Amino acid sequence: MFLLQAYFEHANYYSQRVSVVILGLGSNIGDRFAYLCAAIAKIAPLLDGMVCSRVFESKALPCQGEHPAVDRPFYNMAIRGETLLSPLVLLEAIKGVERDLGRVHRFVWGPREIDIDILAMDGVIFEETVLHIPHPELIKRDFALIPLNDVAPEWEYPVAGAFFGKIPADIITAMGYVVGDDLCDMELIFHV
């Protein structure tokens, strides 16, 4: 009973304020572009003022003992918009989008029809078993950070440490990330 009450109090707190959220989308199975299109269409009702980044192609993350058939490049992008949803309610909604689009959970870092992650939400630091905001791997992933910079260049990294208060461009420079061979600009952008 206490957990249920805490959940509703948490949801009520967020439902009374507008948050700017940045989502990361990726696909490496089937028609990757079509999966991104379908995800954007299903996410649009959840976010006001939605803005999309460019689409980038990146190599799949290496999986221990992976089969060459799963080493398919991803299309990646980011979306920014405003929401009244709490982080946990938004997470459930985007996982529903993944299910609706036929996502199959194979294994960690495995191939995906569509993958949708909450990369950041305002300057929020949120830590629950099922969700961490900002995304715990954000700084280590050029394919997430560079699209985030496209849609939220003024966002400041809220976690204590070397990058606290830094904007994405400063983190990208410090990490040595560039658009090139490993992260290709597909010169595709969605207008919603």
Residue pLDDT, tens place only, 120-164: 999 999 999 999 999 999 999 999 999 999 999 999 999 999 999
Q: What mean pLDDT do residues 5-28 have?
A: 74
Phi, psi of 65 (to 5 degrees): 70, 25
Nearest by Cα to 53 from 78, 74, 81? 78
CB of 104 within 8 A of CB of 65? no
- What single letter denotes the amino acid at residue 181? D
Using CA atoms, how far residue 76 sits from 24, 147, 162, in Å, is 7, 8, 26
**pLDDT value of residue 119:** 98
Residue pLDDT, tens place only, 84-133: 999 999 999 999 999 999 888 776 666 789 999 999 999 999 999 999 99
Q: Does the structure show a pLDDT above 70 at 13?
A: no
Domains and CATH numbers, the chain: 2-189 (3.30.70.560)
pLDDT at 2: 41
Give me the pLDDT at residue 62, please: 63
pLDDT at 6: 47
pLDDT category at 37 given cuts 50, 70, 90 is very high
Give residue 72's pLDDT.
85
Interval 29-51 mean pLDDT: 95
